[in-house]
Structure formats: C-alpha cells, structure tokens
Amino acid sequence: MTSELPNGLLHALALDGTGGARSIAPADIDAWQPEDGLLWLHLDVAERPPREWMQTVLDLDPTVVEALNADETRPRSLTLPDGLLTVLRGVNTNPGADPEDMVSIRLWIERDRIISTRRRRLLSVQDLKEQLEQGLGPKTSGEFLSELIGRLADRIGEFVDTIEDALSSIEESEADDSVQVRRMSLGGLRRQIASVRRFVAPQRDALDRLYRNPGSLLSDSETDSLREEADRVTRYLEDLDLARERAVVLQEELMNELAQLQNTRMYVLSVVAAVFLPLTFVTGLLGMNVGGLPGIGSPRGFLIALVVMVATSAVMLIYFRYRKWL
C-alpha cells in the first residue's frame, strides 16, 4: 500500500523495548510490522492536515483522524476498543512565547503504535525524543504516555512556582514602589493564572478518567503511574486556585492602598485650601477699589495686612494640630 507522505511528518521512530529507538525512513512506514518495534509517528498538522493519509495508510477510524487534526481542543481522554485517544495541553515554554498560551498535543495510542500530532512545538515531546536517542526512554506505549504526562506536569509545576514567586515579590515590594505598576503586574499574573487553569482543570479530569478506565492497553504499574501524575496535576490545580485567591487579596489591598493615597492627597489639598481661604478673603477685601478701606493711607498698611494674614494662617495651623487634623 503506497500513498504520498505528508509534509508534516516530523519523525518516525521504532522503539526497541529497552529504552532506545531507531529512525525509520518515511518510505518504509508502509512496510512496518509490529515485530519491528513500537512505532511512534509525530506529525505537524498546522498547515496541511494529512487526513487521507491517516485513513488510507495508517488505517485510522475517521473519528480518530478528525480528533488528531482538530484546530483547537480541550484536554480529554477516550478509551476505545482499538486504543486510547488523548488530548493534552502543555505550558508554552518556546522562546519568546507566553507561558499561558498552552500548546496541545493529540495522541492515538495502540499497543504497538503511537501517533501524535501538534500544531505548535512542544518541548516535552522533544524531551522524550532525546531520551530515546540516549537509550533512556519509555519501553511501552503505556510508559510513553505516563512519561509524557509527567513531562507536561513538570512544566506546569515550574509555571506555578514562577507565579507564586511573582506574587511573593509583589507582597514584599517596598512601600515606595508605584502602586499603579504593581497593580498592572498583578493584573497580568491573574490573566496568566486564568488562562492556564482553563486547561489544567479539564486535563485533571481527563487524567482521572484515563486511570480509572485504562482498558487493556496499560499495565497495573502504568496505571499507578498515571494515578500519581493525575494527583500531581490536581495539586498544581489547587496551587493555581490558591494563587488566584492570593492575587485577588493582593489586588484588593492595592486598591485600598491606592484609595488611601488619593484620600491623603485630597486631604492635603483640603488643608491647603482651608489655610488659604481666609488669606484669599483678606486679599480680596483689601483689593476692592472703593474708598474707606483701613490702612490705605498708612505707609505701614501693607506690613499690617501681611502680619494679619500670617497670624491668621498660624492660628489655623495651630487649631488643626490641636484637633489632630495634621
């Protein structure tokens, strides 16, 4: 059976069952047999999804083909008679990318064959490939799935640690730091938490369903490993919820601090206005262009007016201090 190879085929590896793997030439994929080793095909389906090739050459069910080539998918897991269909998300650790822009990977796993697809690069997949090249990779399809989930969970944990460190930095920031800058930083952290949590929560549910209903593909030890990874993702989800609550509390504190600063400024302006109010009254009164004003003909009139205004200001300041308004 022959068909044109997809342009998005990134690599084809045959796992030897001892932790290593060998590359398979794209032209030899048609001739692969289960006794040649566990086959792992990894494809990029961003530009030209190879639906026809998957159906004709790989003999995949149309439902599986559509799931592997879907544009945007939430994490989920489905156990079918022929294998496991799993969609997972990982933190985007590509250079220059936003971590909260989580990257998806779609997996169709059989006992002797693994087919994974992506639309953007995921470093956790590259980690597994490097492990296989070093002879330290997974030996079975179930172990492959468990290790991939573990890699994804590791990077989620690193993201959670980064968020917690950033929140702690905001909490411990000095009082002279700009409230507006801290509030903007906190707003960015809250958006990151919400974006990542949006996919971590369904991923936890997908892993929970997977280890509760693994089918015949996974051994007991592999199922136990999946349970541990699901528990770890659950802990990270709880940490994200706690970080979100911390961010809400911090934002409320910053809003209170900002309101207090504004009130302080308004209070200072009010005191200044109160001090200058009688002075304005005196200068306005003496500035009227009418006859009969006291001191107009006196050479000491200006000095007397100045002394009166200074004394009035001093009296008001003393009164404010007495009332503990200053």
Cα–Cα distance, 159 to 105 (Å, whole number): 18
Cα–Cα distance, 102 to 195 (Å, whole number): 8
Cα–Cα distance, 231 to 204 (Å, whole number): 8
Q: Is 58's pLDDT higher than 60?
A: yes
Cα–Cα distance, 203 to 231 (Å, whole number): 11
Which CATH code for domain 9-258?
Answer: 3.30.460.20
pLDDT at 289: 66
pLDDT at 292: 64
Indicate the pTM of the whole model. 0.77
pLDDT at 55: 86
Which CATH code for domain 268-322?
Answer: 1.20.58
Cα–Cα distance, 110 to 265 (Å, whole number): 68
Cα–Cα distance, 245 to 21 (Å, whole number): 46
> For a pLDDT cut of 90, what percent of the chain falls above it?
31
Mean pLDDT over 117-123 rounds to 89
Query: Which range is most confident: 165-179, 187-201, 253-267?
Result: 187-201
Q: Is 303's pLDDT higher than 50?
A: yes
pLDDT tens, residue by residue, 30-39: 888 888 889 9
For the stretch 272-280, contacts whose Cβ atoms lie closer than 8 Å and that sit 24 or more positions apart, written own/partner, are 274/316, 274/320, 275/313, 275/316, 275/317, 276/313, 278/309, 278/312, 278/313, 278/316, 279/309, 279/312, 279/313
User: How much is the mean pLDDT over the chain?
Assistant: 85
Cα–Cα distance, 91 to 148 (Å, whole number): 13
pLDDT tens, residue by residue, 95-115: 777 777 788 999 999 989 999
Domain boundaries, the chain: 9-258, 268-322
Pairing of strands 83-90, 9-15: unpaired
Cα–Cα distance, 63 to 12 (Å, whole number): 23
Contact 44, 118 (CB under 8 A): yes
Mean pLDDT over 204-215 rounds to 84
Mean pLDDT over 225-246 rounds to 92
* Residue 1's pLDDT band (cuts 50, 70, 90): very low
Q: Is 4's pLDDT higher than 60?
A: no
Mean pLDDT over 210-231 rounds to 85
pLDDT at 177: 58
DSSP track, 250-279 = HHHHHHHHHHHHHHHHHHHHHHHHHHHHHH
Higher pLDDT, residue 82 or 298: 82
